[in-house]
Structure formats: C-alpha cells, structure tokens
Amino acid sequence: KAGVAAARTLTDLRLPMIDDLPDITVELIRSEAEPGGVSDLSVPPVAPAIANAVAAATGQRLRRLPLDPANP
C-alpha cells in the first residue's frame, strides 16, 4: 500500500509450504554430464498447483502469472 508491503512477515503472506506440495519422485539417471542440484524440484509445480486450486474453487482458468482474474 503506497509502496509499503502490507504483510509484516513472510508468514503473513500465507505462502505454500513444503507440506502443501504434491509428492515428487526423483529418478537418478547415469550420465557423463556434470551433476546438478535437486533443490529446485519443488518450485515448478507450485504455480500450476495454485492455479488449478483457483480454477477448482472459482471455475475460472488463469493461465498467466501473476494470477489475476482481470488478465486470464
């Protein structure tokens, strides 16, 4: 509001937590490539999961981020 965050803490934002995410199966594949991290695997399903929850609750499918009913 007026350039100041309305949320005082991250908890106030009610962000999804790890328990809110679907189960993720990680399969290791032998390769000669440099190994990469797996810590970012929890990030990609978050936005689609929230968008699907919004669609289930409202019947409106939002296909762009940030989710905005005025700009589906």
For the cut 80, the answer to whether the pLDDT of residue 3 exceeds it is no
Quick one: pLDDT band at residue 48, thresholds 50, 70, 90?
A: very high
- In terms of phi and psi (left: phi > 0; alpha: psi -120 to 50; beta: otherwise), the region of 28 is beta
Q: In this predicted model, which residue has the larger pLDDT, 8 or 1?
A: 8
Q: Are 54 and 66 in contact (CB under 8 A)?
A: no
For the cut 80, the answer to whether the pLDDT of residue 56 exceeds it is yes
Question: Cα 26 to the chain's mean position, in Å?
Answer: 18
For the cut 70, the answer to whether the pLDDT of residue 65 exceeds it is yes
Helix, strand, coil in percent for the chain, rounding step 5: 35, 0, 65
pLDDT in tens, 13-36: 888 788 887 887 878 888 998 887
